[in-house]
Amino acid sequence: MTFSFKDLEKSKSVLLLMDAAEYQKITVDVIKNLVNKTVCYVTLNRTQDSLREIFEDRKVSLTDVVFIDGITSSIKGVGKEEKGCYFISSPGAFTELSLAISKFLRHNFDVLIFDSITNLSTYRDKAVVEQFLLKLINEIGLSKKTKGIFYALNLDSEKNLIKMATSHVEKVVGPKF
């Protein structure tokens, strides 16, 4: 599966559905295709340090990328901000995460990447996850400039969440579920 910014040209929100074995390759390909675009990368899957290492090893420029990291603070108790990264206390802190994303959306990034919706159910119950995700998709839809890419692992255990997200984003890229 390949992704290009053209997948976003006519859509405000894209669900990028992938198999777990393809995750690292696809995340690198997406960032490479967003060169010269400002990106807010929300990570609930890996620490921003881990992502930076992966991207830098593959010669991906992160000059225009800012991270919202929901993992690092729960591992090593990092402060609120660091150059190029804003930390939230935990991946399950949906209110804190929502406020951080709203703050960054006001900066008119070209793209917000949400990595990944299928991690959300680990931290909160289904109804809260769906409400959070719908609010985020709608907020991106109402933003002046920012387009959203939502990663989702193609997991049977997350079939209902993926179907719900599929019905609210404007485009789905990846294998059929």
Q: What is the pLDDT along the chain (177 residues), one digit of tens a residue?
A: 566 667 678 899 999 999 999 999 999 999 998 989 999 999 998 999 999 999 999 999 999 999 999 998 877 766 566 789 999 999 999 999 999 999 999 999 999 999 999 999 889 999 999 999 999 999 999 998 999 999 999 988 899 999 999 999 999 998 765
What one-character DSSP code corresponds to residue 59?
T
Residues 6 or more apart whose CB falls under 8 angstroms from that of 32 comprise: 58, 60
Listing from the earlier edge strand, what are the strands of the sheet with 81-82? 81-82, 85-87, 65-69, 39-43, 111-115, 147-153, 13-18, 171-173
DSSP-derived pairing of the beta strands 65-69 and 111-115:
unpaired
Euclidean distance between CA atoms 126 and 87, whole angstroms: 24
The Cα-based distances of 128 to 70, 79, 124, 172 in angstroms read 17, 26, 6, 23
pLDDT at 177: 52
**Residues forming beta bridges with residue 147, ordered by sequence position:** 111
Q: What is the pTM of this model?
A: 0.93
